[in-house]
Chains A and B, each alone.
Chain A
Amino acid sequence: MSNQWNDAAEELNAIVASFDLGEVSVDDLFAKLERATQIIESLEERLTATKAKVEELAPRIARVAASE
């Protein structure tokens, strides 16, 4: 999970960096934008799913943390 997130984040960073460096041709632009969009949506889905799971677990963790 962690590696998948990091791998995706690194690929996204590389795409952004290629834009920053002006390395993206018009021919490549759509493909890179499409790929970046896919990655962002994938990360958002994963993040949303993780948040939902955390919301389920949070009360249980809180109970343990607050127990005396």
Chain B
Amino acid sequence: MLEVGQFYDLVTSHLEAAFGRRQPRWIRGEVAKVFEKGHLYLDLVDAGSASSDAKRPVLNAHCWTSVWGPLKRRLADEGVSLKPGAIVAVYGYVDVYAPQGKIGFTVSAIDTAGLLGDVARRRRELIERLGAEGLLEANQRVPLSAVPLRVGLVASPGTEGFNDFTGQLLNSGYSFDVRLVTTLVQGDQAPGQIVAALAALDELHLDVICVVRGGGSKGDLACFDDERVARAIATSSTPVWTGIGHTGDESVADLVAHTRAITPTKLGEELVTRVSAWDQRYVRGPAQRIETSYQAVLDEASEFVAERRRTMIFAVRDRLRSEERHLGSVRERLLLESRHLLAAATASLATTRQLLAAYDPQRRLAQGWSLVTRHDGSAVGSLSDVALGDTVTVRVSDGRFDATITQKNGEST
């Protein structure tokens, strides 16, 4: 007959011999309960067993802080947490706690690779579901403003990612109108806040909503693989751009976003580039073309006016000279003809003068002819012009004298 204590000593020695510290084993199970307070306490059950089954076997496992601490940090870095439903393989050994009559299991290692595989599987399944529902490209189909200056921002102010992103906008020289909704960007509370922020900003009908988070561990970025966040982005009526983590990170949020950048800085750059491209095309480019062409237009107009002014001056001058030449020619012709006429007239006058000279009475008088006139001055050309006793005046070459008619004789006598 054994005492209770002796019985537990016996059982313990047998169990330790078969499953003790020196005989560790791998055990696979589904997390039914998890409790952490420095140490980790897990209830593991057979995977897929119903919780309503009162007879399903349960393994009370515990992992002391010395082991759990490093394990927890490693899992957190990978974005993995032990939650009910997770399938996990634990390595350890049996221990017996006699005061409560419990057989427990001390965990010395956890199969993190398996856990990560499980996380990856669930992530893959989420992406497949979103794809099947057409949500991977849904937000990409939302039209994006050509000039996305009104920006909704989901971020945590003061973080490196926030500063990197807003720094790009501030240094761009463009007047971005940024509406910030502050959220946590890691941790269990983050997904709910991000979803609420997206909804609030979507109602403002902005040009774009940017979700920004700087680099971190996978665990830090796990909230961006959250299904609620992915669905909120995919179904937003505003284009959602993401700049999450650093190069190499690709969250489910990135996959459903309208546009993704590899870092917050790059996201800011892309936003500025889009605005700058529009500015160059529709503002700066035309301004540059105007700047180079308006002077040419003015020069051409000035040259036109100057050339027309010169042309008019020469045209009028030519026209006036032409008229002057014409008048000069006419004048010369008139002068020439006048001279001819004068010469002819002079010649004719000389001839006439010669002719008249032949009939000059003075010349006849010198030849001995005389001119007889009556007292009234009329010439006596016939005997009948005078009567006996009349006094007539006889003009000779060197004077005149009076004579009295004393006898008249006819020509025949």
Q: Residues of A contacting B323 with CB < 8 Å?
A: 26
Taking the closest CB of chain B, its distance from the CB of A35, in whole angstroms, is: 10
Contacts A29-B320, A40-B305, A47-B302 known; A65 to B288 CB distance under 8 Å? yes
Interface residues on B, range: 20 to 34
Q: Is B70 an interface residue (CB 8 A)?
A: no
Interface string of B309-332 (1 = CB under 8 A from A): 101100110111001000000000
Taking the closest CB of chain A, its distance from the CB of B329, in whole angstroms, is: 15
Tally chain A residues at the interface, Cβ within 8 Å: 28
Residue in B294, B302, B312, B320 whose Cβ sees the most chain A Cβ within 10 Å: B312
Q: Residues of A contacting B319 with CB < 8 Å?
A: 19, 24, 26, 29
B312 near A15 with CB under 8 A, answer yes
Q: Residues of B contacting A12 with CB < 8 Å?
A: 308
Taking the closest CB of chain A, its distance from the CB of B147, in whole angstroms, is: 15
Interface string of A29-47 (1 = CB under 8 A from B): 1000100110010011001
Please tell me which one of the listed residues A16, A62, A67 contacts residue B315 in the complex, with CB atoms under 8 A apart. Answer: A16
Q: Is A56 an interface residue (CB 8 A)?
A: no
* Closest Cβ neighbor of B326 among chain A residues: A26
B291 near A65 with CB under 8 A, answer yes
Taking the closest CB of chain A, its distance from the CB of B99, in whole angstroms, is: 77
Question: Bound complex: CA of A10 vs CA of B375, how far in Å?
Answer: 92
Interface residues in B330-378 by Cβ distance below 8 A to A read none
A64 near B283 with CB under 8 A, answer yes
* Closest Cβ neighbor of B318 among chain A residues: A19
* Closest Cβ neighbor of A63 among chain B residues: B287
Q: Residues of B contacting A15 with CB < 8 Å?
A: 312
The 3 closest A-B pairs by CB, nearest first: A19-B315, A65-B287, A64-B287
Q: Can you name 22 A-B pairs with beta carbons within 8 Å? A: A15-B312, A16-B311, A16-B315, A19-B311, A19-B316, A19-B318, A24-B315, A26-B319, A29-B316, A37-B312, A40-B312, A43-B304, A47-B302, A47-B305, A51-B298, A54-B298, A61-B290, A61-B291, A64-B283, A65-B284, A65-B291, A67-B173
